[in-house]
Amino acid sequence: MPPTTYRAIFCDLRSDQVIDSLPVQGVSLDDFLGKSGSMSATVPVPNAGIAARAKAAIVPGRTAVWLERGRDIWWGGILWTSAVQSDARGFLNVPIQAGTWDTYLSHRMLYDTLATAVPTDQYDIVRSLLDYVARTPGGDIGIEYDAEPSGVLRERTYSRYDLPVVRDLVEQLGKVEGGFEWRIASFRDVNGRRVKKLQLGTPVIRTGHTDIVLDHPGPITAYTWPVDATSRANAWQSRGASDNRNQASDSVPLTSRLHQAAEDIDAGWPRLDGSSDYSTVEKQTTLDAHAGADLAAARAGTVIPEITLDMSRAPVTPALLGATVRLRIRDLWHPVPLDARYRVVGMSISPPERGRGETAKLYLEAA
């Protein structure tokens, strides 16, 4: 499908009032679960009228961008950078770059102490952080959420003296044993309204009810299967906040218990150590939960298969994030065909190039 099928709707970030709608070229976008996505495109400026409209609409830091592909919203986020470019013949264009809605939380900090007086559902802690952001003057950008619980209770105290970044707090809260995955999704509701909605899943986000079958050879035109053991570990200890209460002695950090995977050693793996730092964590149980989750993530190493799809032959939509695909590959590396299920954790769309149509790259993890 040609890139002219994409259209960018530029809106006021706080009110979501439409400023303008402009055609874009060279669109490239990605979106992930638990990680910020990005979008880049170029707004062509063929005449003075478009120049005036683009100048009014493209205001980095206060403009929202919704990207439509046909009549559907494929991506939404905040415009962060732009650049006006003129070539030797005087033709103008404006490359833009934007980040998904969660990038706003990277620009918000806690200037007040927040604490849960009693054990609180971890989703409610996330929602309380979003409420704090929205209550501050100019801080409400319209992120919605529902009241679904996770069933996991936590106790957290966030000190204003640490000046924590809100996005970092959400990330840390999710990355403990029994934690969760999150994103802020962009879509139209049944009434056609543009929606930015917090999506949470414990332990992960799952969407769809049936597997999508993808074959190579077939709609899968290429794949990469990286295996990286440089960050693999089977023993782990985490450090927390330093104890500065006794001024007469050197302060030492709180440390988690040493987490070890004896089954890896029994299976023949060498001992591989790892560590992590959580300088604001003051409770032993919380630090132990972080260390346990970090060890679980490090034991597998980095194995994130990537498959490239011909979008004219595969059912690619933003709804694939969190969905399960059934991957079937037969080639020299897989003389006995691979037939396995994977969850889609990321997606990247690349515009057509000479001799190649529009493609989608899916990032996978074992289902």
When the pLDDT of each residue in the chain is averaged and rounded to a whole number, the result is 93
Confidence of residue 321 (pLDDT cuts 50, 70, 90): very high
The domains of the chain are located at: 3-101, 108-201, 212-226+304-366, 235-299
Give percent of the chain with pLDDT exceeding 70. Answer: 96
Confidence of residue 103 (pLDDT cuts 50, 70, 90): very high
Which one, of 353, 328, 354, lies nearest residue 219 by Cα? 328
Which one, of 181, 190, 187, 179, lies nearest residue 153 by Cα? 179
Q: Which residue intervals of the chain are DSSP H helices?
A: 48-57, 122-135, 166-174, 262-266, 284-299
Q: Is the pLDDT of residue 2 over 50?
A: no
Q: Which residue has the higher pLDDT, 71 or 143?
A: 143
Q: Is the pLDDT of residue 16 over 60?
A: yes
Q: Tell me the mean pLDDT in the region 173-189.
A: 95
* Residue at 187: amino acid letter: F
Which strand (E) or helix (H) includes residue 99? strand 92-100
What local confidence, expressed as pLDDT, does residue 245 receive?
Answer: 58
How far is it, in rounded angstroms, from Cα 293 to Cα 318? 28
How far is it, in rounded angstroms, from Cα 295 to Cα 9? 43
Q: Is the pLDDT of residue 1 over 60?
A: no
Q: Is the pLDDT of residue 3 over 70?
A: no
What local confidence, expressed as pLDDT, does residue 202 receive?
Answer: 96
Q: Give the contacts of 166 (CB within 8 A, at least 6 positions apart).
A: 105, 106, 108, 109, 110, 129, 132, 133
CA distances from 297 to 35, 97, 125 (A): 15, 31, 23
What local confidence, expressed as pLDDT, does residue 249 receive?
Answer: 61
**What residues pair up with 82 in beta bridges, in sequence order?**
96
CB 286 within 8 A of CB 177: no
Q: Is 118 helix (H, G, I), strand (E, B) or coil?
A: coil
pLDDT, tens digit, for every residue of 124-173?
Answer: 999 999 999 999 999 999 999 999 999 999 999 999 999 999 999 999 99
> What are the structure tokens assigned to 168, written together?
């970092």
CB 365 within 8 A of CB 34: no
SS3 content of the chain, % helix, strand, coil (to 5): 20, 40, 40
Q: Is the pLDDT of residue 343 over 80?
A: yes
Q: Identify the architecture of domain 212-226+304-366 in CATH.
A: Beta Barrel (2.40)
pLDDT, tens digit, for every residue of 208-218?
Answer: 888 999 999 99
Q: Give the contacts of 135 (CB within 8 A, at least 6 positions apart).
A: none
Which one, of 323, 301, 310, lies nearest residue 361 by Cα? 310
> What are the structure tokens assigned to 117, written together?
């007086």
Q: Is the pLDDT of residue 367 over 90?
A: no
How many of the other CB atoms lie within 10 Å of CB of 39?
26
What local confidence, expressed as pLDDT, does residue 280 receive?
Answer: 87
Confidence of residue 355 (pLDDT cuts 50, 70, 90): low
CA dihedral for 105, 108, 112, 113, sign (positive or negative): positive
pLDDT, tens digit, for every residue of 208-247?
Answer: 888 999 999 999 999 999 989 999 999 999 999 987 655 5
Q: Is the pLDDT of residue 4 over 60?
A: no
Q: Is 363 helix (H, G, I), strand (E, B) or coil?
A: strand
pLDDT, tens digit, for every residue of 268-289?
Answer: 999 999 999 998 898 999 999 9
CA distances from 96 to 46, 101, 276 (A): 16, 16, 36
Class of domain 3-101: mainly beta
